[in-house]
A and B are shown apart, each in its own frame.
Chain A
Amino acid sequence: MTIMAYIYMHMREFRDIQESELQKFYSRLVKLLQGKEFGHETVDSLQRLHLILFATKYTRKLPSELQKRLLALLSASAEPVQLLSSAVLRETLPLSGHNLSYNQDNVAQLNSHVAALLLSQAGSRAELSSFCTQLLRSLESRQSEGPAHFTHILPILNTILTHSPECLTEDHVTLLSKKLVDWLRYASTTQGGGGSSGGFFTGARSRQPVPIAELDGTVSGDFFTVLCVGQGFTEDQWMNVYSFSMLRHWLLTYQSVSTGSITADTDDRSEVDGSVVSIVSATSSSSRLLPPKERLREKAFQYCQRLIEQSDRKAHKRTDAELQKACLVEAVYILDCVCVEDASLVYRTFPCIKALFGRLSSDLAFARVMLPIAQFYLNHGEMAAVDCESVWKLVFGRFPAELFNCPFLAHELLRFLRMNLESLQLRVPQYTRAFPNLLKFLAWDSPAVVDDFVDLLPSMVTTGTALELLHTLLDLPCLSATLVLQHRSTCLPISDPGGRSLLSLDAFRSPADRGLFLFLLRDEAGSGETMDRLSTLHERLAEAADWPRVVQCAQTVPVLLHIFFNTAIKIADEKLLSDLIFVMLERSSLLLSLPTYVKEVHRVFSCHLLRLCKLQPSLVVDQSHELLEFAGTTANVYNKEEMYTHVVWVLGEFLSASCDSRCSVRLITSCFEALEAVLFEITSSAPLPGSPCPAPRVVTTLMSALAKLASRSHDLIPRVSLFLSKLRSVTRGGSVAWCSDEEDLVAIETRGEELWSLLKTPGVAQSVLTPSPHVTTPQWHRDTNVSMPLQLRALTSLTHSQ
């Protein structure tokens, strides 16, 4: 049995347990819990109870006796029992009328597992608020209480302020701001006792104090931070860690709320009294007289500056090196946050940020640290008149080009773009040219980032870039294949150990085709909309058609094309619309040959071709040459049925003097002749062996288009009529070689007859087949002059009938 099957069996067993068995189990458990000592059996039974509750999505009700026993267990001595009763109770509903009231006196003893239960079952804001008040009171009076279980209070507060920041009153915010200042800036700088003695805070202070150390082993000469190490830690050092961990969220939540009290705090520990005089803070203005929030801002600023400085040290442990990176990210975000609030800090901060950028920008291992730095430059660069060019070169240039296969960077970078879209469009002209590079994320890992591009794509469509973007989107599967090749050629030796030699890889390496791939891999837009040898490229990449990555990528293209056209239609001028039609016609036969991809793209093209032409019928005359060429090519009937039908319909519908005065009789006639020739060809001979019959829809659309054109140029009517009558006599025979389905043939015949009889009276034919706009979009009811008599008539008929 596989592990999964085994697990499933277990879960089913617990989910489908019989009610009678369950009751027995409950009563056995109640008995078990009456004892004082809880052994393995208790833990085991509680674990089973948890699984029974967890395994079903529906709520099971526990007997109230059992539930009360479980509540009592929350403060039991054994941690597994505490944990399990908390977990079990979280899976049930709170006992009505028996609120889990934390005793006001012993909130300090409130353990983390009880708190977890309280939080998860909080039924209202009011409950959270009073819980919050209790927690803060216990923080205030903690000196008098025992030292245990304090660290979890900050995470609980952070949870509360995530869900309901208004639970903290102004006084709470002030109090906690002060506390955070203390913990962040004035934690002990000597090592706590060895951790071996048990809990966190049981450090023996009797020994000679040993100063804390930096990550590279040197003795620390400044205040304590999360990047300081020692044999053991004191309580306030733990609080330092917890404080820094929630600092950014705290600042983001409460910073902008204005402080009521601006009276300076004089009773706080001042810097001069502090055990260490900081190198960082020594240079800053004395913050002693600042109100609590501003003071916290100042301390946060110092803390982050120190972290940045500490991150330059060589960590002995790999995990610490990773922590340094995470700290850099956090520090820069916090600095950004304090600078947003207090612009005067920008000038003090920029030198440090600039230095950090200079130090790390060439090392791609620090790419994710660069994003907060980019955010900082974006938010404050203008104010500090700093040149941001090199930042954008990295973010829009090197990162997508070289780190397209890093899922986390992709996620963060695209999120950065989404969050700052307006600002980027306004201030960073590089953004609009960066799409060939940014789309590499999509080409590499389409399912993970397509959602981001759905949001971002509209911002990439501008009149200047639309055509190139369209080409780029259409070639996205090629880009995907190219990235695979690039990845392979850098990661694998020239001869693939799998033995599967790829023709496309040879092409990728061959100097003759290098240019094709380099164009796809370009960093920036503007070097041309597309390239000449697209069909060569598609040939070279033919074998990529079944690569999973390429297939996944191709599946996202139609969605993005829809978004592209929806946006382009809004911003495009006449020239661009006309160009778009041209590109659609051209590219319909220039696509990487993936089974459903081509069909899907044709479907999108058809849909938007129609929209564009309806929006601006004169486009049909503008692009009549290309449209006619497309419609006159018989092969398109077979391999681009969807597009072909739409092009023919568009020609029949909009090639009319009423849509565009430039539409001459000559143009109508030449269109008529092109369509007539195709219709004649496909209905006069059997398709080649092995190739399909023309779609009946194509045949009827062609017939209708011909009739429409003829109704506008009456000289053509006899030609259509002749064709239609011929068709009738052929189809009357029962079967024809070009249509295998009998029902389809009947439908074609009926359509033919309708059109034929309609064309017998040209005047009627014209008004039916080319109705004037006031018929198709009646607006007379909105016109007061016309509608007034109607209303009067209606009123008259009402009054007269009485």
Chain B
Amino acid sequence: MVRCFLIHTVCPVSALSPGESRVLYSRVFGPDEGVLCDQDPELSPEERRLLQKEKVAVVARQVRSAVSLSREASDRQLVEVMPGDEALALQEADSGVVRLRARDPFSEEMSALWLGVQSLGFTLVCEPHENLLLAEGTLRNLTRHCLEHLHMLGQGSEVLLRSNRIDALLSRLLPHGQLLFLNHRFAQSLEKEVAAYMAK
């Protein structure tokens, strides 16, 4: 299953130290792994929450450096894409995988699939035995919907103030972190529901 989905910055943010990444949205699926595998039983619930936030931040940072290294290596100029051109932005996106070693930060090894769209990173943390081909398709699909329904190429506040839209997307396309084998008909039917939600 997918352990978490996050949207974060991958470009320098003036107020952050270089190499940092600001997490704009994150959704961790399932129970906190610390509670169930009896790791650090002495941690209080507040500390557990902090730990989980830190784990997400670690992923964001790792992906951020992966994106910038990959962009540096490919020596490609970033094309500025205007709102309305989401399809182009997605087509121009960089992508890759980061291997997260066991205990860094999750208790087991994970694969973090990422898409770098302009200054944003969309990341899916999967268990490594997952079907990464399916995960890649799901990530692209999710990213496309996020870009479109939250107008993420424009002013950025919608990602923060419309997070329920992302929740709604995830509850259909990635319910509880489950990757789904959806052919275009199934996908259409779910997307219809998504569109209905967004229209509310």
Question: In residues 149-183 of chain B, which contact A (Cβ within 8 Å)?
Answer: 154-157, 159-164, 167-168, 171, 175-183
Chain B residues lying within 8 Å of A330, measured Cβ to Cβ, are 131, 134, 181
Q: Is A756 an interface residue (CB 8 A)?
A: no
* Contact across chains for A412 and B132 when beta carbons are under 8 A apart: yes
| With A323-B181, A408-B136: A195-B192 Cβ-Cβ less than 8 Å | yes
| With A3-B156, A326-B133: A159-B15 Cβ-Cβ less than 8 Å | no
Interface membership of chain B positions 41-81, coded 1 if the CB is closer than 8 angstroms to chain A and 0 otherwise? 00001100110011001000000011001101101000000
| With A4-B119, A80-B164, A319-B137: A115-B180 Cβ-Cβ less than 8 Å | no
* Contact across chains for B186 and A59 when beta carbons are under 8 A apart: no
Bin the interface of chain A by size.
Answer: 35 or more
Q: Is B35 an interface residue (CB 8 A)?
A: yes
**Chain B, Cβ-Cβ closest to A200:** B189
Smallest CB separation, B86 vs chain A (Å): 15
Bin the interface of chain B by size.
Answer: 35 or more
**Chain A, Cβ-Cβ closest to B51:** A57
Interface membership of chain B positions 16-57, coded 1 if the CB is closer than 8 angstroms to chain A and 0 otherwise? 100000101000111111011000000001100110011001
A94 CA / B44 CA spacing, docked (Å)? 12
* Contact across chains for A47 and B197 when beta carbons are under 8 A apart: no
A58, A323, A327: which contacts B50 (Cβ < 8 A)?
Answer: A58
B98, B127, B129, B183: which contacts A323 (Cβ < 8 A)?
Answer: B183
| With A93-B49, A195-B189, A326-B134: A84-B164 Cβ-Cβ less than 8 Å | yes
Q: Is A767 an interface residue (CB 8 A)?
A: no
* Contact across chains for B13 and A159 when beta carbons are under 8 A apart: no
Identify the stretch in A238-246, A427-435, A627-635 within 8 Å (CB) of chain B at 4 or more residues. A238-246
| With A7-B24, A57-B50: A245-B180 Cβ-Cβ less than 8 Å | yes
* Contact across chains for B155 and A3 when beta carbons are under 8 A apart: yes
Chain A residues lying within 8 Å of B95, measured Cβ to Cβ, are 407-408
| With A112-B171, A116-B176: A329-B156 Cβ-Cβ less than 8 Å | no
Q: Is B11 an interface residue (CB 8 A)?
A: yes
**Chain A, Cβ-Cβ closest to B75:** A548
* Contact across chains for A47 and B184 when beta carbons are under 8 A apart: no
* Contact across chains for A320 and B156 when beta carbons are under 8 A apart: no
A112 CA / B176 CA spacing, docked (Å)? 8
Smallest CB separation, A380 vs chain B (Å): 18
Question: In residues 252-270 of chain A, which contact B (Cβ within 8 Å)?
Answer: 252
| With A159-B29, A164-B36: A7-B171 Cβ-Cβ less than 8 Å | no
* Contact across chains for A155 and B178 when beta carbons are under 8 A apart: yes
Chain A residues lying within 8 Å of B111, measured Cβ to Cβ, are 411, 415
* Contact across chains for A51 and B97 when beta carbons are under 8 A apart: no
Q: Is A141 an interface residue (CB 8 A)?
A: no
* Contact across chains for A408 and B97 when beta carbons are under 8 A apart: yes
| With A116-B176, A326-B137, A548-B73: A10-B163 Cβ-Cβ less than 8 Å | no
* Contact across chains for A415 and B128 when beta carbons are under 8 A apart: yes
B129, B154, B167, B176: which contacts A159 (Cβ < 8 A)?
Answer: B176
Residues of B within 8 A of A (CB): 1, 9, 11, 13-16, 22, 24, 28-33, 35-36, 45-46, 49-50, 53-54, 57, 65-66, 69-70, 72-73, 75, 95-99, 101, 111, 113, 119, 127-129, 131-134, 136-137, 154-157, 159-164, 167-168, 171, 175-189, 192, 197, 200
Q: A154-B178, A411-B99, A411-B132 are in contact. List 6 more A-B contacts (CB 8 A).
A: A84-B167, A87-B163, A119-B30, A160-B30, A319-B184, A368-B132
13 contacts between A and B (CB under 8 A): A4-B13, A7-B9, A7-B22, A44-B161, A113-B171, A156-B176, A159-B30, A229-B184, A233-B189, A323-B183, A368-B132, A408-B132, A448-B98
